[in-house]
Structure 1
Amino acid sequence: MTDDPFRDTDLVELYDLDNPAGPDHAHYRALADETGARSIVDLGCGTGLLTRSLTGPGRTVTGIDPSRTMLDHARRQPGSDAVTWILGDASVLEPTATVDLAICTGNAIMQIAPADLPATLRSLAGALRPGGTLGFETRDPAFREWEHWTTGVTERDTPVGRLREWMEVTEVRDGRVVFDAHNVFPDGTDRVYTNTLYFRTAEEFRAELEAAGFTDVTWAGDWQGGAGAGRLLVFRATRG
């Protein structure tokens, strides 16, 4: 995970409008309640919309993100004082073995390159107590969603003005998908941000998780725990 493309203050201001709370947030809040989590780490917390909703009496919540712009936004939001915000990636986690629940939401785990994923999962395992839970979701590569991402131009009115937007996929190779997101502002400036996502199968994730010390790895095809033909893989694993 990197600060690019999440370093544009105007676009970060729109992030929560484009990614409102939904069944994904409900899923992770229910997971926190089900596991009785008193200590939660949200890796790749972004603007912290979900992170802030996880706080409560007797519960400590930490949000970690490599984007200074997103964290600055998160710190300005109501309820932000109840969260400990840390700039960085999984390497900032201390191997305390005390965290009850770690989550990585918004498909953030797809931004982690193959070379970095093993260390990321080991850092999460080191922070979690034995029996602690890891939850995250990723897009299912079987649906080849990137084939529909190069689309026509759309226009909309936003708090930062009328935007013209489109996406263009520039590379697909071995599960790595690179695309450019175009954002044309009212002054005609086209702010182009390159995104890279890594698609992995459920079995690939299971192997990585088990190698990092996780057990009881399960996944579902939707937020309700179903095994149907969803476009997501929603994971849960236990720190062994």
Structure 2
Amino acid sequence: MFSDDDAAALYDLLNPWDPAVWPGDGFYEQLVRAADAVLDVGCGTGAMLHRAREQGHPGRLVGLDPDRAALRRARRRTDVEWVEGTAATAQWDAAFDLATMTGHAFQCLVTDAELRTSLRAIRAALRPGGRFAFETRHPRARAWEDWRPWNATEVTDAAGRPLRVWHEVAGVDGDVVTFHSTTADPDGTPLRVDRTSLRFLDEPTLDAFLTEAEFEVEARYGDWARGPVTDGSREIITIACRR
């Protein structure tokens, strides 16, 4: 079978953090470098904070995630703080000048209650004037329509196993898309199937939640080159400031 630890290791293989290659990674790296204290919400295996410390970041770096297997990989580096929990359970008070949610982690906040509670907790964790940076997939791009078995990724994991990985939509309910992620042998025999729901917020709805949580949008981009959001944008990238 394909364990949680296997899945966490595969995530790193499929999603290498490299600002020199991936514009989104470079975007966040610039923000992290400029911040004295950083909270990475939904840090996963900790790749962003690992690199920040490797590059000489001297300040406080904290990663928060509910996935124990991912945190076990993150904790291979001990000069970063790693905390098990969700955005809604964060209990810091004015401790950071930057909070981030990378890798579309913001979309895992599916219900209105999750969004409200999480945004309040993130705001409380920021110092006055602190910034919250995150991205969501633009709903008009309808990214989920490409999540099909025939778009599988083929990869060889660290144990030398050839694998196929694909996503398949199970249902769309308003702005929430539920899908299955399958990890399989090369012949398609499933080793593991995970079910996930993501919320695709449009700009007005997103900004209403931010305003309610007492954030002010400082910058909004439609791509990692900091271009404007247009009907053709695949991303809604936001930097919000704590009021």
**What is the match of residue 82 of structure 1?**
79
Q: Which residue of 2 aligns with 1:8?
A: 4
1:190 Cα deviation after fit = 2.9
Distance 2:95 2:40 in 1: 14
Shift of 1:42: 0.2
CA contact under 8 A between 2:101 and 2:134: conserved in structure 1?
Answer: yes
User: Aligned AA for 1:37?
Assistant: A
Letter in 2 for 1:203: P
Q: Residues 180 and 192 of structure 1 are in contact (CA less than 8 Å); yes or no, is this contact kept in structure 2? A: yes
Q: Aligned pair count? A: 230
Structure 2 counterpart of 1:144: 142
Match of 1:129 in 2: 127
Q: How does 1:225-240 map to 2 (within 5 A)?
A: 225-227=226-228, 229-240=232-243
1:204 CA displacement = 1.2
Paired with 2:32 and 2:151, the residues of 1 have a C-alpha distance of: 40
Matched, 1:169 2:169: yes
Q: CA-to-partner distance for each residue in 1:78-105, whole Å, 9 max, x for gaps?
A: xx22210000012342241131000011
Q: For 1:87-102, what aligned pairs fall within 5 Å after superposition?
A: 87-102=84-99
Find the aligned partners of 1:7 and 1:204 in 2 and give their Cα distance: 37
Q: Secondary structure at the match of 1:235?
A: strand
Identical amino acids, percent of aligned pairs: 37
How big is the shift at 1:176?
A: 0.7
Does residue 109 in structure 1 map to residue 106 in structure 2?
Answer: yes
Relative to structure 2, which stretch is displaced further, 178-187 or 38-47?
Answer: 178-187
d(CA) in 2 for partners of 1:57, 1:180:
37
Residues in 1 aligned to 2:206 and 2:190: alpha-carbon distance in whole angstroms: 40
**Unaligned residue ranges in structure 2 (runs of 5+):** none
Q: Displacement of 1:53 after TM fit?
A: 2.0
Q: How far 1:57 sits from its partner (Å)?
A: 4.9
Contact 1:7 1:69 in 2 (8 A): no
Matches within 5 A, 1:186-225: 188-225=189-226
Q: Distance in 1 between matches of 2:100 and 2:155?
A: 32
Determine the structure 2 residue equivalent to 1:3: none
Tell me if structure 1 keeps the 8 A contact 2:182–2:190. no
Q: Relative to 1, partners in 2 of residues 1:153 and 1:220: Cα closer, same or farther, differing over 3 Å?
A: closer
RMSD, matched Cα: 2.0
Determine the C-alpha separation between the residues in 1 that align with 2:238 and 2:108.
16
| Counterpart residue number, 2:158 | 159
Query: More deviation in 43-52 or 221-230?
Result: 221-230
Cα pair distance change 1:215/1:167, threshold 3 Å = closer
